Amino acid sequence: MAPQRRIRVAIVGGGISGIAQAVRLQEALGDNKAEVTIYERSNEAGGVWRDSRWAGAAVDVPIHLYCLYSHLNPDFSSHWAGRDEVLAYWKRIVAKHRLGDRFIFKVEFVGSRWDSLSQTHTITFRRVESGETFEVEADVLISATGALNRPITPKVPGRDDFRGLQWHSSRWNTDVDLKGKKIAIVGNGSSGIQVIPNIADLEGIEIVQFVRSPGYFRPKHNFEYSRFQKLVFRYVPFALRLYRWKIYYDYDYTILSRGTGTFASDLREKLSQGVVDYMKKTMPDEYHEALIPKYPMHCKRVAYDGGWLASLNKPNVSLTASPITRVTPTGLETADGKQYDVDIIVWATGFEVSETGVGLNHNVFGEDGKELRATWKERQGAFGYRGIAAPNVPNYFIVLGPNAIAQNWGWTLGHNTEYIARLIRGMYDRKLCSIVVKASIMDSYNEFLGNRLAQTSLSSAECGTSWYKDPITGKIVAPAPWGA
């Protein structure tokens, strides 16, 4: 009997999702059962952590919860590890599992088409430097592009007329000396509030921040782990796992406050009041109206304040909630008629999630010959099965698919990559050519999901827009309604 051939797996994305998925496949199938290739747009692995070069870039999930449960690290220096330490952790995993030769760099995904006759995906890539396209054939296609892969820069009139420097926060220009500069930070999401306290004390710098909406900002009390703690984590059996479980439990308990029942509502009120009290105590009174929200907590992502609110008390830092109406050659103009002349504009305006952050879908064609994007649009936004599978596209998995994010990024990443690897191992063991979720199961699951979402604060009418939702229809497409 001829030996069974290896399953050819194409992973699109070489960030932490792609790395984690490659590790799980290696664990589940070894090298003799699967041929895994990772296609990455940049020239090195790391994804969002490779690109996040702004001052103060760090995790907003405690690092021992953010890392893979199968690759715990007793030597992390602090509770909220910084960008360099996080990136080094993931690169060590690449080296440990000898994944370096699995990468093909500087190529971007163009499209894929499922062939029912050959039971394979024909995938088209483009070489970033030359623009040349090429095709590969794979038995399984995995989208590991992550939720934060396409920066959003607002289409503000006059943006191209600005004579100074401008960039998105995720594409930080590290060659520019910020001393003595007037800087506009547009946005008050995670990157915007991380960078300000880390540059506010530079000599001669002036910062004005433009915010669009209020939010809940929890205190981010960082601390370093002592040498003794690290030794305990390393040598005392189960110590690090128990510590991680404690963090996990605290996070999952907080997720309970998303519900609409009496207990959940009371818990949310208690947590909300604590956060608002902290915000009022920490920032200047003049910014209370602009920054304290009136919507229920958790219907938008709660951010962590590592010194931003306190930095608003500094004489060289100011904030305005008046909408930007246009960019002038020398700065920004707002709806209240004020002109702000600046040297640099930083667009800390987040990422597009509903179209590209919940899995490859443009030019992804399934067994019905229809583009996945079109299928999603017909249903008012992205949908799938258990956060990993898409409708009508066999042998296609998404590490962070529609409504995948439960509790936090780290837990979801570890859970979903293992789930996908087990499915592919099942295909190999049972000699299956393809698997796809039945339409009736897909519909039943999404009806259940919708009912659960409706019972959470995520669906609150007071919430308005957020990256959790499809910007056109308002359908919730990113988070799951449950914790871990």
Q: Judge if 236 and 118 occupy the same domain.
A: no
Relative to beta strand 331-334, strand 324-328 is antiparallel
The total of other beta-carbon atoms located within 10 Å of residue 482's CB is 17
Q: Judge if 339 and 357 occupy the same domain.
A: no
449: domain CATH number is 3.50.50.60
Is 121 in contact with 396 (CB distance < 8 Å)? yes
Residue 474 resides in a domain: no
Residue 90 resides in a domain: yes
Q: Judge if 168 and 138 occupy the same domain.
A: no
The total of other beta-carbon atoms located within 10 Å of residue 61's CB is 18
Q: What is the 3-state secondary structure (H, E, C) of 374-402?
A: HHHHHCCCCCCECCCECCCCCCEEECCCC
Residue 466 resides in a domain: no
Query: In total, how many domains does the chain have?
Result: 2
Q: Judge if 263 and 360 occupy the same domain.
A: no
Residue 286 resides in a domain: yes
Which residues span the domain enclosing 180?
159-224+230-347
Rounded Cα distance between 114 and 137, Å, is 10
Give the bridge partners for 339, in sequence order.
Answer: 333
Residue 473 resides in a domain: no
Report residue 448: phi and psi, to 5°.
-60, -45
Domain edge (last residue) among 347, 368, 391: 347
The total of other beta-carbon atoms located within 10 Å of residue 54's CB is 25
Relative to beta strand 7-12, strand 140-143 is parallel
Residue 238 resides in a domain: yes
127, containing H or E segment: strand 120-127
CB within 8 A of 383, min separation 6: which ones? Answer: 376, 391, 402, 403, 442, 446, 477
Q: Judge if 32 and 111 occupy the same domain.
A: yes
Q: Judge if 163 and 192 occupy the same domain.
A: yes
pLDDT of residue 398: 97
Question: Length of the chain in residues, anyone?
Answer: 484
Q: Judge if 212 and 328 occupy the same domain.
A: yes
Q: Judge if 181 and 136 occupy the same domain.
A: no
Is 15 in contact with 144 (CB distance < 8 Å)? yes
Q: Judge if 78 and 140 occupy the same domain.
A: yes
Q: Please report, to the nearest 10 degrees, the dihedral formed by the alpha carbons of residues 129, 134, 137, 143 taken in order.
A: 40
CA-nearest of 269, 107, 300 to 189 is 300
**pTM of the predicted model, to two decimals?**
0.94
Q: Judge if 343 and 443 occupy the same domain.
A: no
327, containing H or E segment: strand 324-328
Q: Judge if 248 and 367 occupy the same domain.
A: no
| Alpha helices per DSSP H over 200-261 | 227-235, 239-255
Per-residue tens of pLDDT for the chain, all 484 residues:
456 789 999 999 999 999 999 999 999 999 899 999 999 999 999 999 999 998 999 998 999 999 998 999 999 999 999 999 999 999 999 999 999 999 999 999 999 999 999 999 999 999 999 999 999 999 999 999 988 778 889 999 999 999 999 999 999 999 999 999 999 999 998 889 999 999 999 999 999 999 999 999 999 999 999 999 999 999 999 999 999 999 988 888 888 888 888 898 999 999 999 999 999 999 999 999 999 999 999 888 899 999 999 999 999 999 999 999 999 999 999 999 999 999 999 999 988 887 777 999 999 999 999 999 999 999 999 999 999 999 999 999 999 999 998 867 778 899 999 999 999 999 999 999 999 999 999 999 999 999 999 999 888 888 888 888 888 899 999 988 887 6
Rounded Cα distance between 17 and 391, Å, is 21
Residue 410 resides in a domain: yes
Using DSSP, state whether 221 is helix, strand or coil.
coil
Q: Judge if 249 and 146 occupy the same domain.
A: no
Residue 483 resides in a domain: no
Domain edge (last residue) among 312, 331, 347: 347
